[in-house]
A and B are shown apart, each in its own frame.
Chain A
Amino acid sequence: MAVAHRTKRRPADPPSGSYESPIVELREVSKVYPGGHVGLDRVSLSVFRGEFLFLVGPTGCGKSTFIKLLIRELAPNAGQVRIAGRDIGSLPEKRIPQLRRNVGTVFQDYKLLPNRTVYDNVAYALQVIGGSRSEIREKVPETLRLVGLSNKIHNYPDELSGGEQQRVSVARAFVNHPPLLLADEPTGNLDPVTSIGIMQLLYRINRAGTTVIVVSHDREMVDKMRRRVVAMEEGRIVRDETSALYTEEDEQAGPAASAAPIDEDTQEFAIRVRAEMGVGDEGATNGGTH
């Protein structure tokens, strides 16, 4: 895959070590909105299976456009958006639902269905793909246990805290175990302690083999995670590094943050991040590790 990166360092090799095709690949993608605002300007990027990637940058830099292109909420004006080798820019409209079922998405505003209980919200993602009743009965409680909401399954979204709603959103995105999970500012509306919980959850999902792309403003969180960071400005990628910090300046200043071991398990991750951020244990909301 000869892909041109406007980067200083090469991004991570596929974790498995084998050079399979990237799960997400953008080739010279441009998106110009009606009215002339440039969302993306000839962006090229490859994300490999199993990666955990942060997309950072100021408001209006094209992060949201990036996510919307990946679920075909928008179509590019030029270039190719490939998911698992398939150009989705030319996907016929009828095939879009199929794409979205294979890409779990977590939104900043959760986007839960207000008229459904937690259980039914998560179950909807399975009903959409024609999941059988027995499959739903098995997978939904299991996923809700994973996100630590076993005791709230019959509550409605407006009866939950922001963090809990975001957990439901994650559960819905993950319940059919998609190969790719996108999170658009998943901690944007949450306090630091709750944010760690959500990040821990995403990390756990990543450890289970799902590629995770997180759009984030949360500088501290990005710094502590030390995963691949892609920084954007005005529709272009200005930096793409592995085990990186939120900004280059931070790195040059050389903060005390230790490089995160790539195979850290979720428990270790949570302990390390909490210690580094100086917040206490949130409480045993999550039962066990992956």
Chain B
Amino acid sequence: MDRLLFFIQEGLRALRRNAAPSVAAVVTIVVTVLLLGVLIPVLQTTEGKAQEVRSKIQLKVFLYDDATQGEITALQKRIDGVPHVDSLQFVSKTEALQILKKRLKDPNVLKELNSNPLPASFNIKPDDPANLDSIHSALTPPNAAGKATPISPIVQEVKDSREEASKITAVTGALKIVLTIITALLVIASLMLVGNTIRLSIYSRRREVEVMRLVGATKWFIRWPFMVEGVIVGAAGGLVAVIILWIGKVTVVDPLSDRFALVAAQNTINFLPLIGVLLLSAMAVSAMGSGVTLRRFLRV
């Protein structure tokens, strides 16, 4: 207990007496944590968006207008029996028209139509976008001539949104890769920056470390105060960065998320765990940086 108190006192003393290098270390940590604090949510948003697109991938089975209720029910049962079908939804002609009405800005366009041109359909969601193909071919098995034919005579056409979905997936995928690389590079660069700053701070005290060794201090006796110092520097830097992030979230991101769909995915990110992880890693990196750098000067 006496020891612990001594190490904390020593760490604080070192911070007081080496104010300039300590401030430099704190600033580098603030910058690093800020970068991470911005990039991690952006990455998560991209990932969330891609997930959303994937969930929209579905199959549409359009029916002829002359299909009877009995035929429709029979078809529904058959589709239900196809493997990998996650959910199945019947959209009648009237429902289809209402959906279209909602989407159109000017409902008057439809008034000019005398009849409802829209077919009834089944919307099929696969359990995984990758299984889209197998469902598609199950609904349109090849006939004797080897040509794909719908399983029921009331089926007019089977369509899937694969093509447009795959485009969006490709774009978000590329974006994700680019962002991941940028994040990784930034993390590496800032780790080296933090390491370098800590090294400078310790280098200016290498004679002190040498004297401690000559007086008979063990390596850990010298190292602990430096670790304590590292934890304090990391915590200070992390705290400042988290406060800046929080201000940014409240003043910029939150108002925007009401208006834009993309930013709305922000809701999937929990702010508290994020800052917790950032704070802890800042402290760990800083403390370990101090401990590791010290090794070079302890070989007396």
Contact = CB atoms under 8 A, between A and B. Distances in A.
A112 B216 contact: no
A258 interface: no
Given A115-B13, A115-B17, A97 B208 contact: no
A232 B3 CA distance: 44
Contact of A113 (B6, B208, B216): B208
A113 B212 contact: yes
A124 B14 contact: no
B214 A71 contact: yes
A128 B215 CA distance: 8
Nearest to B299: A93
A59 interface: no
Contact of A125 (B13, B17, B207, B215): B215
Contact of A124 (B17, B18, B215): B215
A211 interface: no
Contacts of B218: 94, 97, 128
Given A73-B300, A111-B211, A115-B208, A97 B217 contact: yes
Nearest to B5: A133
B17 A100 contact: no
B2 interface: yes
A47 to B, nearest CB: 20
Interface in A107-144: 107, 111-115, 124-125, 127-130, 132-133
B214 A132 contact: no
B221 interface: yes
A112 B211 contact: yes
A278 to B, nearest CB: 36
Contact of B2 (A97, A114, A133): A133
A206 interface: no
Nearest to B218: A97
Contacts of A114: 208
A226 interface: no
B211 A132 contact: no
8 contacts: A97-B218, A98-B216, A101-B216, A111-B207, A111-B210, A111-B214, A113-B211, A128-B212
Interface of B: 2-3, 6, 13-14, 17-18, 207-208, 210-218, 221, 300
Q: List the 6 closest A-B pairs by CB distance, nearest first.
A: A100-B216, A101-B216, A115-B17, A128-B217, A97-B218, A97-B216
Given A105-B215, A172-B215, 15 more contacts: A97-B213, A107-B214, A111-B207, A111-B210, A111-B211, A111-B214, A113-B211, A115-B13, A115-B17, A115-B18, A124-B212, A124-B217, A127-B6, A132-B2, A133-B2
